Structure 1
Amino acid sequence: MKAVRYHQYGGSEVLNYEEAEQPVPGAGEVLVKVVGTSFNPVDAAIRAGFLHEVFPQTFPAVPGIDVAGTIAGVGAGVEGWREGAAVVALLPMTSAGATAEYVTVPAEALAAAPRTGEPADAAALPAAGLTAWQALFENAGLQAGQSILINGAGGAVGGYAVQLAKQAGATVTATASARSAQRLREYGADRIVDYTTTAVGDLGERFDVVLNLVTTSPEETGGLLDLVNDGGVLASTTTPPPETADRGVRTARVFLHGDAGQLAGLVARVDEGELRIHVAERRPLADLAAVHDDAASGRLPGKTVLVP
């Protein structure tokens, strides 16, 4: 089979589109024929070796933690899944990824794929959708009637967060550029702040929940505390927010974890028309190194799905 692999940590130049042996599912695993995977920023951090102590790789390594495809084989002890079933999953970050024609997936990670939309585009759901869900409800404890500021709503996680927060009954303020504004309005955002003309610190109001998806400097992340109501929550997927008990504000660092039940719930929302998957472009697996370069330089237009 063809796969994108790297044999050592480094820049995008270590990514090679090459022949690889087709994997065989072990006990508790299924073999998935990949119809799509997607780029996530963590893929580049893992490839570069920045996270080697947390997510060590076995070389040659295959990136890609999102997968959408069909089951092509079932390992020993797997129940409830059969060949030909369309599935999605978030792969363990230490296992071989989905930038390949086939990948083995723990059966416990699987969810049925959405019945609507392009099959490959379902690969844009697991990592980003689960991050949004866990940030809002596990980390921030968002409830109906609360106000939330989503800082960086134009990205993949932000788009899901806007939709889920609005459906939960929150009043949603989103920071984004003009190119994302219309899409976020369609998602239900009550207010959109163009961060290119208005600094987030100049909003002049406070929110019950602030979800930070973009600010990376410790100083700027700490400054977001001024936007949180007394007794509120600051959650961040990037730089850890400072610990504080001032004004009863709670802080939380968001760490993505796999949860097939949550993923199945997100798929159900997609099928019911309540949750929209946004894909900016589809590119062939052979373009993965260029996708990493585009992401590093800020040229990536949005969520990118890669197809074999």
Structure 2
Amino acid sequence: MRAMRMHGYGGPDVIHDDEVAQPVPGPGEVLLRVAATTFNPSEAGLRRGLLRSIVPVDLPYTMGLDVAGTVAAAASSELAAGSSGLAVGDRVIGRLDGRAAADFAVAPENVLVRVPPEVDLADAAALPIAGLTAWQAVFEHAGVTAGQRVLINGTGAIGRFAAQLARHAGAEVVVASRSRGDVAGRFDAVLHLVPAPPRHAPLIRPGGVLVSVTTPADQLPAGDFRAVHFIVRNDTADLAAMLELVASGEVTIDIAGRRPLTDLAAVHAAAETGGLPGKTLLLPSRP
């Protein structure tokens, strides 16, 4: 089978299109026939070696953190009988520690969530990291409720999901962007989702909250508000709740591009030059 593997740390050219043996699931794991994976900015940092002390990997490393696919097999016959909750043929998504950028991937059963029939399986690959980050930023860390005023600083996949979730909660939402210029007014919550200093902190009302996924806690500004930095948590309950909103039409998945899996290195290169707006899916080719 095909797998897009990182053979060292460096530029996009360290990503190779390799032919490898199909993986075999172990206890508590399933084999997925991959429908799609995605590109996440954090994977560029991983490739460049910036996360080596936090996320050590064995090389060559099969890339891909988000996965959408169909359960093809398991380590035991119990799965086929449905006793584990999943069954062969189930459509699922989840967040992995790599291995999704391939024709087939092994995944722990306990990180996977079934995809409702109303949701396109490949598109759902955009949810595990970006969707979970937005969900936890809006509901867990900012505690957004109806009637509040929320500023979203970031127009990427996380920002788009966060804006929809905050509106779903009943908040008034303003989205900041480079082209928008200055933002006026005061806000109960500011969600800082871009790799730059949080410049909107002076707009937070007393008792409000600044939530950042990029600026470390010790670099967040102080004030008469709460400041939080967090790293997304893999949570199947949150992911299932996000899927329900997508299935009901309350949240839409914006896909900016669909590329063959073999374009992964080119997608990394485009991201480094700012030529990759929105969420890009990587799709394995099928015979």
Report the TM-score when normalising by structure 1: 0.86
Q: Which of 239, 246, 262 is the equivalent residue of 2:223?
A: 246
Contact 2:156 2:277 in 1 (8 A): no
1:246 offset after TM fit, Å?
A: 2.9
Instruction: Show the counterpart of 2:128.
Output: 126
SS in 1 for 2:255: coil
Post-superposition CA distance 1:7-59 (Å, at most 9, x none):
21111110001101211111111110101001000111111111111111111
Residue 160 (structure 2) aligns with: 159
Equivalent AA in structure 2 for residue 44 of structure 1: A
Post-superposition CA distance 1:272-295 (Å, at most 9, x none): 111101101100011000000000
Deviations 1:145-172 (A, max 9, x none): 21100011x2111111011001111111
- Structure 1 residues 243, 285: CA separation in 2 closer, same or farther (over 3 Å shift)? closer
Q: Which residue of 2 aligns with 1:82?
A: 87
Give, as a single letter, the amino acid of the residue that structure 1 aligns with 2:20. A
Offset at residue 116 of structure 1 (A):
2.5
Instruction: Tell me which residue corresponds to 1:234.
Output: 210
Separation (CA, whole Å) in 2 of partners of 1:122 and 1:260: 14
- Coordinate RMSD, CA, aligned: 1.5
Counterpart of 2:74, as a letter, is V
Query: 1:262, 1:244 → 2: CA distance?
Result: 29
Work out whether residues 8 and 14 of structure 1, in 8 Å CA contact, stay in contact via their aligned partners in 2: yes
- Tell me how many residue pairs correspond in the alignment: 278
**Gapped runs of 5+ residues in structure 2?**
none
Q: Residues 244, 68 of structure 1: CA spacing in aligned structure 2 closer, same or farther, 3 A cutoff? A: same
What is the alpha-carbon distance in structure 2 between the residues aligned to residue 102 and residue 115 of structure 1?
22
Return closer, same or farther for 1:115/1:235 CA change in 2, 3 Å cut-off. same
Q: Deviations over 1:183-242 (max 9, x none)?
A: xxxxxxxxxxxx32513xxx34220100011142xxx32x32211110110011112254
Q: 1:206 aligned to 183, 186, 193, which one? A: 186
2:260 is the counterpart of 1:284:
yes
> How does 1:1-308 map onto structure 2 within 5 Å?
1-76=1-76, 79-92=84-97, 96-152=98-154, 154-176=155-177, 195-199=178-182, 203-216=183-196, 220-221=197-198, 223-240=199-216, 242=219, 246-247=223-224, 249-308=225-284
Following TM superposition, the consecutive aligned residue runs of length 4 or more in structure 1 with deviations greater than 6 angstroms are: none
**Amino acid of the structure 2 residue aligned with 1:127:** I
CA distance in 2, matches of 1:75, 1:54: 30
Identity %: 46
- 8 Å CA contact 2:37–2:64 kept in 1: the answer is yes
Give 3-state SS (helix, strand or coil) of 1:125's partner: helix
Amino acid at match of 2:193: L
Which one-letter code corresponds to 2:186 in the other structure? R
Structure 1 residue 259, shift from structure 2 partner? 0.6
Q: Which structure 1 residue ranges, 5 or more long, are not aligned?
A: 177-194
Query: For 1:107-153, what per-residue CA distance to the aligned partner results, in whole angstroms no more than 9, with x for missing partners?
Result: 1101011323432111111111000001111111222221100011x
